[in-house]
Amino acid sequence: MKKITYALTITLFICTAPTLVLAHAMLDHASPRVGSTVNSAPKEIVLWFTQKLEPAFSTIEVRNEQGAAVQAGKATVIGDRTQLRVALEALPPGIYKVIWQVLSVDTHRTRGDFTFRVGP
Amino acid sequence: MFEKSWPLGMLAAGLAATATTTQAHEIVGNRFFPATLAIDDPGVNDELAFPTIAVSKTGDDPSFKQVDVSGEFSKRITEDFGISVGPTWSRLYAPGGPTMNGAQGFQNLETTFKYRLFKNAEHELIVSAGLSIEWGGSCAQDVGAERFTVYTPTLYFGKGLGDLPPSLNWARPFAITGQVGYAIPGVAQTTTASIDPDTGEQDIDMEFHPRVLNWGGTIQYSMPYLKSAVVDLGLPDFVNRLIPIVEAAMQTPVSNTATSGTVTTGTINPGIIYVGNTYQIAVEAMIPVNRQSGTSVGIIGQLHFFLDDIFPNSIGRPIFANNINTGRPTYGR
């Protein structure tokens, strides 16, 4: 019985570990939303990640349909260090691709991309 | 009749134990490849799968219930090379076992060496090669553990469909993985001599150990991928962490098949995986593809821990790692 109790305790500890430990930084959600259509051009992109980020190794690139970069300046880590933000140039209607690369504070690298549309 | 089919039953038990051995997870670009249950996936990582519990009815005649409880610890030596070790404990209910009264014990210990050959983030493609060794005579023969060692060189691959054109956005969360291995027994045949109790004459029983093609694949639909890379539908967090999956794991004897036959055995496993930040939970049904593979639908479940995420600065990193200088101390995080 003691062994079962120990095993259950360890299992419960590890299963609740997401709140206690570090992990790969994965994209949780974004503004504008992944795959969304917005009527008015956003002035910035904000990405929320599942872990804290290393600012020096975390970037956002935003490209228009011709492949030209439309972000204004470098991405900055904000909030509780789980958010990454970059300002945008004035965006005409079209489809935009957001490409992110981040390094979590436990030195795991992750990358990803998604699109959003500006216009009716 | 049963006694004649027992060696085949032991082969099936051994194959079943091999088939339930597990697995690594992997991140390739946008894609998270989860650890899979029926076949190994292409990932190389630090992780612990424990427990994996499988309940099935074997394809023996007569059939019997079998319960396997297994675990596997995987450790990266370098970023691309890892070793995993996995014991399996089996219980065969009556009329299983050599005396038909059931049996229990550990299967032979299995060790897998795996090397990541290729990884392409843009196309969500990964290819790995490995060698699995089932150490002969390391455990209980009553549950099918052979006295000889089996070597299985294996090729693994994974491909996400995230590079499909935008017109096929709905299909981009799909991914496939697969493996092809060739199991080579360390000895070609076993000869057993016994005295017939009725006639007093000596019986010679010769069993040939076949070389077996272990092949299989998975098709999976990633809700995490849908949310983070295609379209965020605003679904509940629980749903956004699910990966519905169908796995297939097959074994085909291809040579030295005089006593084993050449019938392909295996299962099709529909199931679902829940992915947490540092662990995953999976459950699948095991549907036998024919009578020789089992007599009813079984079930398999697994709890799997991502040690690279739980212990990123100790046992969760490669022994020989490429350190990234973040300019900050590594303590106190």
pLDDT in single tens digits along all 333 residues of chain B: 333 444 444 444 444 444 444 455 789 998 999 999 999 989 999 999 999 999 999 999 999 999 999 999 999 999 999 999 999 999 999 898 888 888 999 999 999 999 999 999 999 999 999 999 999 988 777 787 888 999 999 999 999 999 999 899 999 999 999 999 999 999 999 988 888 888 888 888 889 999 999 999 999 999 999 999 999 999 999 999 999 999 999 999 999 999 889 999 999 999 999 999 899 999 999 999 999 999 999 999 999 999 988 998 888 889 997 665 555 444 333
Rounded distance, CA B50 to CA B69, Å? Answer: 9
B232 touches chain A (CB under 8 A): yes
Q: Is the pLDDT of residue A6 over 80?
A: no
Contact criterion met (CB < 8 Å) for A21 and B309:
yes
Residues of A in contact with B276 (CB under 8 A): 15, 18
**DSSP string covering B13-81:** HHHHHHHT-----EEETTEEE---SSS--S----EEEEEEEEEEE-SSSS--EEEEEEEEEEEESSSSE
SS3 state of residue B136: coil
Rounded distance, CA B263 to CA B60, Å? Answer: 13
Contact criterion met (CB < 8 Å) for A105 and B323:
no
Residues of B in contact with A23 (CB under 8 A): 277-278, 306, 309-310, 312
SS3 state of residue A65: coil
Residues B42, B35, A19: CA angle, nearest 5 degrees: 130
Ordered by where they begin, the domains of chain B are 2-310 (2.40.160.40)
Predicted structure pTM score? 0.87
Ordered by where they begin, the domains of chain A are 22-118 (2.60.40.1220)
Tell me the pairing of strands A109-118 and B26-28. unpaired
Q: Is the pLDDT of residue A55 over 80?
A: yes
Write the residue in A18, A34, A103 that is nearest to B232 by C-beta: A34
* Contact map slice: B 47-86 vs A, CB within 8 A: none
Rounded distance, CA A104 to CA B35, Å? Answer: 22
Non-local CB neighbours of B194 within 8 Å, separated by 6+ positions = B202, B203, B205
A103 touches chain B (CB under 8 A): yes
Look at residue A24 in the predicted model and tell me its pLDDT: 86
The ipTM of this complex is 0.84
B166 touches chain A (CB under 8 A): yes
Q: Is the pLDDT of residue A64 over 90?
A: yes
The first and second tokens of residue B90, run together, are 């089996």
In chain A, the residue whose alpha carbon lies closest to the alpha carbon of B50 is A11
Name the DSSP letter for residue B137: T
A41 touches chain B (CB under 8 A): no
CB contact at 8 A, B112 and B87: no
Contact criterion met (CB < 8 Å) for A24 and B27:
yes
